Structure 1
Amino acid sequence: MIEAAGALFRCLQLASSMLLIGGCVFLAIAGHIGLASRHTWPTRLKKTFPWLAVGLLLGLFGLLATTTAQATGVPENAWSPQAWVDFLQKTRVGLIWTLRAASALAVIVIVLYVRVSPPARWRYVVCASVATLPLALGSLASHSAAEEQAVLATVIYALHVIVASVWFGGLPGVILVASTTTTESSDDRSQAGKVLSRFSTLALPTMIAVIVSGLVVANRMIDTNYAGLVATTYGWLLILKLTLLAIILFIAARAKSVWVPSLGQDSDIAAAGGRKLRTGVRIEFVLAILLVIVATLLANAVPAKHDVIDYWPYPFRFSIDATWGDWLVRTIVLAGLVLLIIAGTTIVLGRKKQWETPWRIAVPTILGVLGLGASLYPISVQSYPETYRKTPVPFDAISIANGVELYAANCVPCHGPQAKGNGVLAKTLPRQPLDFLTEPHTAMHTAGDFFHWLTYGRYNGIMPAFGEKFSEDERWDLLNFLHANSRGYQSRIITPRILPEQPFMATPNFSYTAHDGSSGTLKDFRGRHSLLLVLFSWPESRDRLEQLRAASTTITGKNTAILAVPMTDLPPDELAAIVRNMPFPVVTQGAREISNSYALFRRTLSIPDLFGEGTRPKHMEFLVDRFGYLRARWIPNGDGTGWTDMTLLTQQISQLNQEGEILPPPGDHVH
Structure 2
Amino acid sequence: MNGLLYASLLLHVAACSLLTGASFLLVLAGRPKDEAAGRWERMALSASKWLALVALGAGLIWFALRAATFTGRPETALDPSAIFAAAIDTWAGKVWLIRQGLLAFAAAWLFLAGQPASRADWIASRWLLLTLSAAALVLMSLSSHAAAIERQLLVHWADILHLMSAGLWIGALPFLAALLFISSRDQETLQPFSRRALVRFSRVATLLIFALVGTGILTACHLVGDVPELVGTTHGRLLIAKVAVLVPALLIAARVRDMLAGPGSTPLSRRIALHVTVEGALVLGILGFAIAMMLSVPGKHGSPTWPFPIRYVPDPGAFPFWRTLTPQQNAIALAACGLFALGLLVSLWRRPRVLLAGVAASVAAVLAVLSWNGSTVQANPASYARSPVSYDVRTLDRGRESWQQHCPACSIDLARLPLSATVGDLFWLTGEGDKELGVPSLAAKLDEETRWSVAQYLRASATAATVTAGGGTQIRPGLIPAPDFDIVLGPLQLGTLSDYRRGRPVLLVLYSLPQSRERIEQLAKRHAQLAVYNVEIVAVPRHSSGNPIAELATASPALFPIVTEANGAIVRAYDLFAAAAGHSEFLIDPRGYIRAIWPNDEWRNADDEIEALAQQFLDEAPPDEADEHQTH
TM-score bracket, shorter-length normalisation: 0.7 to 0.9
Structure 2 residue 92 is the aligned partner of structure 1 residue 93? yes
CA distance in 1, matches of 2:511, 2:79: 64
Match runs of 1:481-560 below 5 Å: 481-483=461-463, 494=474, 506-511=481-486, 521-526=496-501, 531-548=506-523
Aligned to 1:663: 623
- TM-score, length basis structure 1: 0.73
Instruction: Give the Å deviation of 1:509.
Output: 0.5
Aligned to 1:595: 571
Structure 2 residue 344 is the aligned partner of structure 1 residue 384? no
CA distance in 2, matches of 1:587, 1:77: 47
Is residue 456–residue 464 contact of structure 1 (8 Å, CA) maintained in 2?
no
Cα distance per residue 1:32-59 (max 9 Å; x no partner): 5x35565422232222222222222222
CA distance in 2, matches of 1:350, 1:555: 59
Further displaced range: 403-412 or 588-597: 403-412
CA distance in 2, matches of 1:494, 1:527: 21
Instruction: Give the Å deviation of 1:11.
Output: 1.8
CA distance in 1, matches of 2:365, 2:529: 62
CA distance in 1, matches of 2:357, 2:534: 63
Structure 2 residue 410 is the aligned partner of structure 1 residue 446? no
Instruction: Give the Å deviation of 1:516.
Output: 6.6
Match runs of 1:175-190 below 5 Å: 175-182=177-184, 185=187, 189-190=191-192
CA distance in 1, matches of 2:79, 2:547: 68
Say if 1:550 and 1:109 are closer, same or farther in 2 by CA, change over 3 A. same
SS in 2 for 1:21: helix
Q: CA RMSD in A?
A: 4.9
SS in 2 for 1:463: coil
Amino acid at match of 2:88: Q
CA distance in 2, matches of 1:601, 1:253: 59
Q: Point out the structure with max Rg over C-alpha.
A: 1
Instruction: Give the Å deviation of 1:163.
Output: 0.5
Aligned to 1:247: 248
Say if 1:208 and 1:616 are closer, same or farther in 2 by CA, change over 3 A. same
SS in 2 for 1:116: coil
Say if 1:600 and 1:73 are closer, same or farther in 2 by CA, change over 3 A. closer
Instruction: Give the Å deviation of 1:162.
Output: 0.9
Is residue 508–residue 537 contact of structure 2 (8 Å, CA) maintained in 1?
yes
Say if 1:117 and 1:463 are closer, same or farther in 2 by CA, change over 3 A. same
Say if 1:15 and 1:350 are closer, same or farther in 2 by CA, change over 3 A. closer
CA distance in 2, matches of 1:477, 1:124: 65
Instruction: Give the Å deviation of 1:235.
Output: 2.9
Aligned to 1:280: 275
Say if 1:316 and 1:625 are closer, same or farther in 2 by CA, change over 3 A. closer
Say if 1:518 and 1:278 are closer, same or farther in 2 by CA, change over 3 A. closer
Cα distance per residue 1:238-287 (max 9 Å; x no partner): 222222222222222222212x346x854xx74xx333222222222222
Cα distance per residue 1:132-172 (max 9 Å; x no partner): 21222211111111223354333222211110111112113
Cα distance per residue 1:173-203 (max 9 Å; x no partner): 3212312453565785354333212211111
Aligned to 1:478: 458
CA distance in 1, matches of 2:253, 2:10: 24
Match runs of 1:142-541 below 5 Å: 142-182=144-184, 185=187, 189-224=191-226, 226-258=227-259, 260-261=260-261, 265-266=264-265, 270=267, 273-309=268-304, 312=306, 314-321=307-314, 375=367, 381-400=377-396, 415=413, 421=415, 434=416, 441-442=418-419, 444-458=420-434, 461-468=435-442, 471=446, 472=451, 473-483=453-463, 494=474, 506-511=481-486, 521-526=496-501, 531-541=506-516
Further displaced range: 634-643 or 370-379: 370-379
CA distance in 2, matches of 1:528, 1:72: 36
CA distance in 1, matches of 2:49, 2:575: 71
Is residue 515–residue 585 contact of structure 1 (8 Å, CA) maintained in 2?
no
Amino acid at match of 2:456: W
CA distance in 1, matches of 2:278, 2:514: 82
SS in 2 for 1:565: strand
Aligned to 1:565: 540
Amino acid at match of 1:244: V
CA distance in 2, matches of 1:492, 1:111: 75
CA distance in 2, matches of 1:143, 1:466: 42
Say if 1:491 and 1:10 are closer, same or farther in 2 by CA, change over 3 A. farther
Further displaced range: 506-515 or 12-21: 506-515
Instruction: Give the Å deviation of 1:299.
Output: 1.0
**Structure 2: any 5+ residue segments left out of the alignment?**
319-342
CA distance in 2, matches of 1:9, 1:106: 21
- TM-score, length basis structure 2: 0.77
Instruction: Give the Å deviation of 1:96.
Output: 1.4
Amino acid at match of 1:663: P
Amino acid at match of 2:98: L
Instruction: Give the Å deviation of 1:223.
Output: 0.7
CA distance in 2, matches of 1:363, 1:658: 43
Say if 1:411 and 1:304 are closer, same or farther in 2 by CA, change over 3 A. farther
Is residue 188–residue 270 contact of structure 2 (8 Å, CA) maintained in 1?
no
Say if 1:484 and 1:156 are closer, same or farther in 2 by CA, change over 3 A. farther
Say if 1:630 and 1:324 are closer, same or farther in 2 by CA, change over 3 A. closer
**Structure 1: any 5+ residue segments left out of the alignment?**
326-343, 353-359, 422-433, 603-614
SS in 1 for 2:299: coil
Is residue 349–residue 355 contact of structure 2 (8 Å, CA) maintained in 1?
no
Is residue 399–residue 481 contact of structure 1 (8 Å, CA) maintained in 2?
no
Identity level (%): 24
* Alignment partner of 2:132 out of 124, 130, 133: 130
Aligned to 2:338: none
Amino acid at match of 2:624: P
Is residue 560–residue 653 contact of structure 1 (8 Å, CA) maintained in 2?
no
Instruction: Give the Å deviation of 1:494.
Output: 4.6
Is residue 12–residue 56 contact of structure 1 (8 Å, CA) maintained in 2?
yes
Cα distance per residue 1:463-482 (max 9 Å; x no partner): 22232498423243212333
Cα distance per residue 1:513-553 (max 9 Å; x no partner): 55677675323425599755321122211223344556779
